[in-house]
Amino acid sequence: MRVLSGIQPSGRPHLGNYFGALRQYVSLQEGNDCFYFIASYHALTAVQDAKLLREYTLGVAVDFLALGLDPAKSALFAQQDVPEVTELAWILSCVTPMGLLERAVSYKDKVAQGLNPNHGLFAYPVLQAADILIYLSDLVPVGQDQKQHLEITRDIANKFNQQFGEIFVLPEPYILDTSAVVPGIDGRKMSKSYGNEIGIFEEGSLLKRKVMSIVTDSTPVSEPKDPYTSTPFLLLRLLATPEETAEWEARYKAGGMGYGEVKKRLLELIEEHFAPFRARRRELEADLDYVKDVLREGGRRARTVAQSVMERVREATGLPTSYSPGG
């Protein structure tokens, strides 16, 4: 099965990104043909500093590789290395009803968060559809809150296929296991926009300060506590073994335990779990030429597929090119 997903280059990943998606992207490499792209075109709706966007794009590649993405199994590439995707986005926009875009929940949410409502933000689902359809993707990993965008992609593909013939595969959602919502240090869902994240690659005094500042209630040490309303416990159970999690749950309910104890153990677990990834990231940062080579090869693989699909799209829509490249 061909699996396709993209991640915006908007800064360093945090625990929510890891447990919500990134670790599952790595596991999907086994037995699937995975295409993972860095969505730099999409990031332009919010990041309009050229130097920063270049840094973020390369940084995402380093992060992916450090976390276990294998370029021998998956194509990792930058969105802009496959320019055919923007050509397809225009063609798809010509069969996309306005009402479909006006109903997009994510557009309304982002405007509500203060982003300027530019055309790129409004037309985001069409470019996303092009990202998915141009590689004939079978599965698209999404969270429950992202299903609408995939439904829009399927609607657009149906519109095109009905008008021009069966070119595109209708992708199916692969629902990511997000049953364990990852809370941030303030108790809300972990998010860069809230500034409550714990970074995967943070360490030392910065990591310790964040973990020890996790918000807790004022229940006295001697009193029993509900572990499932406690942010330190909810984070700890993501990293601890089932046996250790059960022990901490019992201690919460018995009383006589302070939140500081849980935070100290959480800090140890984060250090233990992510230490190998941090070490690998330092190696990659020292060899950025390798990272760039991975992106070039991934882009070549992805573009080979995209060019083949676009030949069929151009023929079907009456837009065949009049000359061959280099001819």
What pairing do the DSSP bridges indicate for beta strands 172-175 and 74-78?
A: unpaired
Q: What pLDDT is recorded for position 16?
A: 92
Q: Which helix (H) or strand (E) holds 55?
A: helix 50-66
Structure tokens at 83: 């320019």
201-283 has the same fold as 2-180+288-317? no
- From the list 73, 192, 208, 264, the catalytic residue is 192
φ, ψ for residue 34 (rounded to 5)?
-100, 135
Burial of 174-186, coded b for 16+ CB within 10 Å and e otherwise, reads bebebeeebbbbe
Residue 124 CB neighbour total at 10 angstroms: 22
Q: What pLDDT is recorded for position 181?
A: 74
Could you tell me which of 62, 66, 75, 67 has the C-alpha nearest to residue 34? Answer: 75
| Domain coordinates in residue numbering, the chain | 2-180+288-317, 201-283
Q: Is 189 among the catalytic positions?
A: yes
Q: CATH for 201-283? A: 1.10.240.10
Could you tell me which of 270, 264, 260, 265 has the C-alpha nearest to residue 202? Answer: 270
Strand partners, 142: 175
- From the list 51, 147, 159, 189, the catalytic residue is 189
Residue 327 CB neighbour total at 10 angstroms: 6
DSSP state of 241: -
Structure tokens at 63: 């992060």
CA distance 191 to 180: 15
CA distance 57 to 51: 10
Residues 6 or more apart whose CB falls under 8 angstroms from that of 99 comprise none
Residue 70 CB neighbour total at 10 angstroms: 12
210 and 186 Cβ atoms separated by less than 8 Å:
no
CA distances from 165 to 132, 281, 304 (A): 18, 46, 22
Residue 278 CB neighbour total at 10 angstroms: 14
231 and 215 Cβ atoms separated by less than 8 Å:
yes
Q: What pLDDT is recorded for position 316?
A: 97
- From the list 110, 210, 225, 263, the catalytic residue is 110
Average pLDDT by stretches of 10, the chain with 327 residues: 93 91 94 97 89 95 97 97 97 95 76 75 92 97 81 96 97 79 92 91 96 96 96 96 97 96 98 97 98 98 98 96 60
CA distances from 180 to 230, 238, 313 (A): 13, 8, 41
Strand ranges, E, within the chain: 2-7, 33-38, 74-78, 139-142, 172-175
Structure tokens at 103: 């109903």
pTM: 0.89
7 and 60 Cβ atoms separated by less than 8 Å:
yes
Q: What pLDDT is recorded for position 327?
A: 42
Q: End-to-end CA distance of the chain, in Å?
A: 35
Q: What pLDDT is recorded for position 325?
A: 54
Instruction: Give the 3-state secondary structure of residue 304.
Output: helix
CATH 1.10.287.130 fits 2-180+288-317, yes or no: no
